[in-house]
Amino acid sequence: MRRDEGRDFPWWLVVLAAAGLAVAVMVARDPVYARILATLSRGIGITIAVTVTAFLGAMALGLALAVASLSRHLWLRQAARLYVEVMRGVPIVVLLLYVAFALVPLVLAGWNALGLPEVQTRAVPLIARAVFALILAYAAFLAEIFRAGILSVAEGQIEAASALGLGPWLRFRLIVWPQALRTILPPFGNDFVAMVKDSSLVSVLGVADITQLGKVAASGNFRYLETYNMVALLYLAMTVTLSLALRRLETRLRRRGPAR
């Protein structure tokens, strides 16, 4: 790779901006595009809510798995590794269907068998099942990112913090995490953008996100080209915006130099 490649003028962004401007003109002039956009816009909030909620949950579970995988206890390390390998080996769409129609009913059947207040399966919204499945799936990927970031911190710094009397929590908060953040931020950003795209899979459960509303609109108006053009462009607008913001953040962190 050439060293000046990162300083090239972003012609690709100009092309995307021109395409976005062309779409805006079509929406303003063509009532078909305007109606399609009005329909799809109702799913933007659901897509964002699913993405943010699932990613935050996956971060919490992923951090716990990373800590477990670095534990001194063999059974914790093996349990974390088992979880990561299983979840990474199952397609997300299969996991969505399994959680929604197999795991949730099984868990509720066990709950009801214990004589606790009865909960019907239909009482659990499909969107909640979808978010739970995405959390389970992405926690495995984020756990590996967390683990790599923690291992990137020099062992000597952790030993020096221990010699100063810092407990495990203070060592993590003051020494490990600030340095690990520089390592994990780029792959974290990539996974967040991937989560935006994978959130479209919740449409297989009938959740009214952008993709599901696009399928419903296309089946009613039979304007498949226009409808799926708008679906693709909405996702593209979100992912490109996120990618540019994350790239700027990474650049700022690099300019600050390595942690001392």
Domain residue ranges of the chain, discontinuous segments joined by +: 15-250
| pLDDT of the chain, 260 residues: tens digit per residue | 455 555 677 788 888 888 878 878 877 788 888 888 899 999 999 999 999 999 999 999 999 999 999 888 999 999 999 999 999 999 999 999 999 999 999 999 998 888 888 888 888 999 999 999 999 999 999 999 999 888 888 777 777 777 777 777 777 777 777 777 878 888 888 999 999 999 999 999 999 999 999 999 999 888 898 899 899 989 998 998 898 888 888 777 766 655 44
Count CB neighbours of 144 within 10 A: 16
Tell me the whole-structure pTM to 2 decimals.
Answer: 0.86
d(CA 149, CA 126): 34
**What CATH homologous superfamily does 15-250 map to?**
MetI-like (1.10.3720.10)
In sequence order, which ranges of the chain are alpha helices (DSSP H)?
Answer: 11-29, 31-41, 44-69, 74-89, 92-98, 104-113, 126-151, 155-163, 168-171, 177-198, 210-221, 224-255
- Gap between the Cα atoms of 185 and 183, Å rounded: 6
